[in-house]
Amino acid sequence: MSHPHANEVKAFLLQLQDQICAALEQADGQGRFVEDAWQRPAGGGGRSRVLAKGAVFEQAGVNFSHVSGDALPASATAHRPELAGRRFEAMGVSLVIHPENPHVPTSHANVRFFIAEKDGAEPVWWFGGGFDLTPFYPVEEDVIHWHTVARDLCQPFGANVYADYKKWCDEYFFLKHRNEARGVGGLFFDDLNAWGFERSFAFLQAVGQGFVEAYVPIVDKRKATPWTDSQRQFQLYRRGRYVEFNLVWDRGTLFGLQTGGRTESILMSMPPLVRWEYGYQPQPGSAEALLYERFLPARDWV
């Protein structure tokens, strides 16, 4: 079934996983990724890599998966019902990083490629992905750096690309039941094929390779910042928002579960420690209140 372009995309994704893991190991300085290769009975497989209890990263997961099936699940066809019943092939790299130090932001990135086929019809393919930042004690220069990298990698692809995909990210990573953003955003795109394969693939590559440039300098600046137990408790509380989003709203989680994917790899995004507190309100004028007041509301950063 494999589309002629699929091998080219797969080779890039495998290399990207290697590059990101190497950069994160260097930033951590101590931890190492452990690989768990797996096969999916219904078709395909992947390699999950997890770094646990490092010097900087409490848990970091960088997954590659390549799966196929006889019909796209509901999570993939809800907004494209014309694809229901088509055979599919999906591949991607997805990562979530949970640092121990509350001054180092959590981060997520994903790049993916889909093909949907049906006998007698042209294959339908598209790219998707992006990256977003979830700080607990944000520093404005870090957020500006993050969005500057995002803007600059988008510029060769069109004047409005960054603005459009930043807005999509702000809207997607929003907890509707809390009326609250998950973090300070970044980029999000899906169903990208209007530019043709080569240009669309080039954008996917730019986003995937831009993640390290956007994130690692922030890690390097903040990983030695002293932190208190109360700051750690706030970090664990805010991690609860991450769990809520991934289990309630995230299409990628739903897609993995609905296609019979490997549960351990799908839920690798969950933080190792988290807590909830009933009716929590930050103290007025505190650093915790500043997160809610200045950083979580969507705004232009660059």
Write out the two tokens for 37. 């290769």
* Annotated binding-site ranges: 94, 98, 108, 110-112, 147, 177, 260-262
Task: Give the contacts of 7 (CB within 8 A, at least 6 positions apart).
Answer: none
Q: What is the pTM of this model?
A: 0.93
Chain CA centroid to CA 234, Å = 22
**Low-confidence stretches of the chain (pLDDT beneath 70):** 1-4, 72-79, 120
Q: How many Cβ atoms from other residues are within 10 Å of residue 46's Cβ? A: 23
Nearest Cα neighbor of 216 from 68, 47, 74, 56 is 56
Domain 6-295: CATH architecture, name and number where available = 3-Layer(aba) Sandwich (3.40)
- Angle 152-154-156 from CA coordinates, rounded to 5°: 90
Q: What is the predicted pLDDT for the residue at 1? A: 45
Name the one residue in this structure whose structure tokens are 């890039």. Answer: 12
Q: What is the predicted pLDDT for the residue at 122? A: 81
108 is catalytic: yes
Q: Which of 5, 66, 103, 108 is catalytic?
A: 108
The DSSP call for residue 282 is P
CB 154 within 8 A of CB 129: no
Q: What is the predicted pLDDT for the residue at 80? A: 73
* Annotated binding-site ranges for substrate: 94, 110-112, 260-262
Map out the domains of the chain as residue ranges: 6-295
Nearest Cα neighbor of 114 from 153, 60, 65 is 65
Q: What is the predicted pLDDT for the residue at 250? A: 84
What is the Cα–Cα distance from 66 to 113, expressed in whole angstroms? 9
Chain CA centroid to CA 146, Å = 14
